[in-house]
């Protein structure tokens, strides 16, 4: 079976390599990622992964791997910040609080769709103006759910996690490996 990575994310490609896999192709799905009014973060992220997988062509000898990650603080979904102002708003909201990082994985083949949702809890220490302004200046927040990357400079803001580190980065490897093996991809 040929593995098709349904994501343009360089982080997901790096994580897949940790499983010893190189995708035969990378196909980034083009879907509307707007949350539905009243949709919970869990339902939203699962729907996004499913819709990404459904949007891509899948030959009989292919396995499509798609994922979506979002940050939920209370009932609020924190996607990728549109600009520096929104990134600052997200960082201040997360400062000194616990939040959930939800990553949904969808693996599609000719045999059907397999899914898994991984919920990790992340605790931010209280942030200072210097912390927030320095992080904003780094531009590392760009394109990151919740406006931060745990594997980068923001790791210094996080004294505690419960769950999957790789899920927080963007692809929970233990769960993904199980889904891929079930679909016929050897990890």
Q: What is the pLDDT of residues 44-93, one digit of tens each?
A: 999 999 999 999 999 999 999 999 999 999 999 999 999 999 999 999 99
pLDDT in tens, 160-183: 999 999 999 999 999 999 999 999
**Does the residue 29 lie in any domain?**
yes
Residue 95 in domain: yes
pLDDT tens digits for range 127-157: 999 999 999 999 999 999 999 999 999 999 9
The answer to whether position 97 is within a domain reads yes
Please state the pTM of the whole predicted model.
0.94
At a CB cut-off of 8 Å and minimum separation 6, what does 49 contact? 66, 67, 68, 104, 105, 106, 115
Q: Does the pLDDT of residue 186 top 90, yes or no?
A: no
In this structure, is residue 187 part of a structural domain?
no
68 included as an active-site residue: yes
Q: Residue 10 domain-assigned?
A: yes
Number of structural domains (the chain) is: 1
CATH number at residue 141: 3.90.950.10
Of 43, 68, 83, 131, the catalytic one is 68
Instruction: Indicate the pLDDT class of residue 95, thresholds 50, 70 and 90.
Output: very high
Residue 33 CA to residue 107 CA, distance in Å, equals 19
116 lies in which domain range?
2-182
């Amino acid at each position: 079976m040929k593995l098709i990575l349904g994501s343009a994310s360089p982080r997901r490609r790096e994580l897949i390599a940790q499983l010893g896999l190189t995708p035969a192709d990378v196909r980034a799905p083009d879907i509307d990622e707007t949350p539905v009014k009243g949709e919970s973060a869990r339902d939203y992220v699962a729907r996004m992964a499913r819709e990404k997988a459904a949007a891509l062509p899948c030959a009989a000898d292919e396995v499509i791997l798609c994922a979506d990650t979002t940050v939920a603080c209370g009932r609020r979904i924190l996607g990728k910040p549109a600009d520096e102002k929104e990134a600052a708003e997200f960082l201040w909201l997360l400062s000194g609080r616990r939040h959930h990082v939800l990553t949904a994985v969808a693996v599609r083949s000719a045999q059907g769709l397999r899914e898994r949702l991984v919920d990790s809890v992340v605790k931010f220490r209280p942030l200072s103006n210097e912390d927030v302004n320095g992080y904003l200046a780094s531009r590392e927040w760009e394109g990151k759910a919740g406006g931060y990357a745990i594997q980068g400079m923001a790791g210094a803001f996080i004294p505690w996690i419960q769950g999957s580190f790789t899920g927080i980065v963007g692809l929970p490897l233990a769960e993904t490996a199980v889904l891929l093996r079930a679909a016929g991809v050897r990890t």
